[in-house]
């Protein structure tokens, strides 16, 4: 059964087996359009993942949409480099820049989709002034920095508030959600208005990654 609501899954390679990263990506390629790529710098989040050279290496091997989530301080110093190695969408944390509007237009001038991510402690209203200019709003439903955490209880209400404002403004911004998405939570997130569902452990901790994506899609019965 497929849902009447259009939504997409973005498998997050943070939970992939890096010994065979390309093989991991190939397993989800036929099932998902987006690939979520978490970049962590050890400053904004207490963890370091991977960065520009890894994206550069995988880019020629897949046409998936590279949805790059920058969990880094000073994102303005790096967006050009991420654009150059083939990011399709670049999402920065609103907490990490003084001038979100300038960074959005910089990303767009590089020919890329621009996104803002919101930390669970940040009021969602902070993103409202930028909605019309944004391609993606990424609501964090866990504390950024680690896969496999629990979907936060207040995430549905926060998603609904952003959804309502996107609709009120008549914008086409994609509402994305990141953290704790699995079969038991995905429907709630879609119901609350999310349309791009990031899933790391739910996809890559399952031996059959392709089936895991299918199972997530089937778990939405709206
Ligand atoms: C967490 C990352 C997420 C992470 C999600 O900071 O931004 O993208 O991969 O992992 P799960 O789906 O396991 O919560
Ligand atoms: Zn992420």
125-140 residue pLDDT tens: 999 999 999 999 999 9
- 83 Cα to the center of ligand 1, angstroms: 22
Asked if the model's pLDDT at residue 30 lies above 90, the reply is yes
- Asked whether the beta carbons of 11 and 199 are under 8 A apart, the reply is yes
Helical residues (DSSP H) of 127-199, grouped into ranges? 155-168, 186-191
Q: Tell me the average pLDDT of the chain.
A: 98
CA dist 38 and 24 (Å) reads 15
pLDDT band per the 50, 70, 90 thresholds, residue 105: very high
CA dist 135 and 90 (Å) reads 10
What is the average per-residue pLDDT within 109-113?
98
In this prediction, what percent of the chain has a pLDDT beyond 70?
100
Decide if 178 is catalytic. Answer: yes
User: What six digits make up the tokens of 101?
Assistant: 């509007």
- Strands (DSSP E) along the chain, which ranges? 8-11, 34-40, 65-71, 89-93, 113-118, 136-140, 174-178, 196-199
Q: Is 49 in the pocket of ligand 1 (CB under 6 A)?
A: no
Asked if the model's pLDDT at residue 123 lies above 70, the reply is yes
What is the average per-residue pLDDT within 95-107?
98
**Residue closest to 11 by CA, chosen among 58, 60, 78:** 58
- 198-210 pLDDT, tens digit per residue, is 999 999 999 999 9
What is the average per-residue pLDDT within 38-58?
98
Ligand 1 atom closest to Cα of residue 15: 9
The residue annotated as part of the active site, out of 67, 88, 135, 178, is: 178
Q: Under 8 Å CB-to-CB from 145, ≥6 apart: which residues?
A: 40, 45, 46, 47, 71
Q: Is 11 in the pocket of ligand 1 (CB under 6 A)?
A: no
Q: Is 180 in the pocket of ligand 1 (CB under 6 A)?
A: yes
In the prediction, which pLDDT does 1 show?
A: 58
- The residue count of the chain comes to 222
- 49-87 pLDDT, tens digit per residue, is 999 999 999 999 999 999 999 999 999 999 999 999 999
In the prediction, which pLDDT does 211 show?
A: 98
The residue annotated as part of the active site, out of 17, 23, 38, 205, is: 38
pLDDT band per the 50, 70, 90 thresholds, residue 2: confident
| Superfamily of 8-218 according to CATH | Aldolase class I (3.20.20.70)
Ligand nearest to the CA of 45: 1
**Residue closest to 14 by CA, chosen among 150, 197, 151, 205:** 205
pLDDT band per the 50, 70, 90 thresholds, residue 220: very high
- 104 Cα to the center of ligand 1, angstroms: 23
| CA-to-CA dists, residue 178 to 44, 51, 52, 114, 200, angstroms | 16, 19, 21, 16, 9
Spatial strand order of the sheet with 34-40 comes to: 8-11, 196-199, 174-178, 136-140, 113-118, 89-93, 65-71, 34-40
Ligand 1 atom closest to Cα of residue 203: 12
Q: Is 200 in the pocket of ligand 1 (CB under 6 A)?
A: yes
- 148-182 pLDDT, tens digit per residue, is 999 999 999 999 999 999 999 999 999 999 999 99
- 152 Cα to the center of ligand 2, angstroms: 15
User: What six digits make up the tokens of 25?
Assistant: 């990506």
Q: Under 8 Å CB-to-CB from 182, ≥6 apart: which residues?
A: 151, 199, 201, 202, 216
Decide if 38 is catalytic. Answer: yes
In the prediction, which pLDDT does 3 show?
A: 87
- 14 Cα to the center of ligand 1, angstroms: 7
- 2 Cα to the center of ligand 1, angstroms: 25
Ligand 1 atom closest to Cα of residue 182: 12
């Amino acid at each position: 059964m497929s849902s009447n609501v259009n939504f997409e899954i973005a498998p997050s390679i943070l939970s992939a087996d890096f010994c065979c990263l390309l093989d991991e990506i190939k397993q989800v390629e036929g099932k998902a359009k987006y690939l979520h790529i978490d970049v962590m710098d050890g400053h904004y989040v207490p963890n370091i993942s991977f960065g520009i050279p890894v994206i550069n290496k995988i880019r020629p091997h897949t046409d998936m949409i590279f949805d790059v989530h920058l969990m880094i301080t000073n994102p303005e110093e790096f967006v050009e480099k991420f654009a150059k190695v083939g990011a399709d969408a670049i999402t920065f944390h609103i907490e990490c820049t003084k001038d979100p509007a300038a960074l959005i237009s910089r990303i767009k001038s590089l020919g890329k989709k621009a996104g803002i991510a919101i930390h669970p402690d940040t009021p969602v209203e902070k993103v409202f002034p930028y909605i019309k200019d944004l391609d993606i709003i990424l609501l964090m439903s866990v504390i950024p920095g680690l896969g496999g955490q629990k979907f936060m209880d207040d995430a549905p209400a926060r998603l609904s508030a952003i959804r309502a404002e996107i609709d009120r403004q008549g914008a086409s911004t994609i509402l994305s959600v990141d953290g704790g998405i699995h079969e038991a939570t995905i429907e709630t997130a879609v119901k609350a208005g999310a349309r791009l569902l990031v899933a790391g452990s739910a996809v890559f901790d399952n031996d059959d990654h392709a089936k895991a994506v299918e199972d997530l899609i089937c778990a939405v019965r709206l």
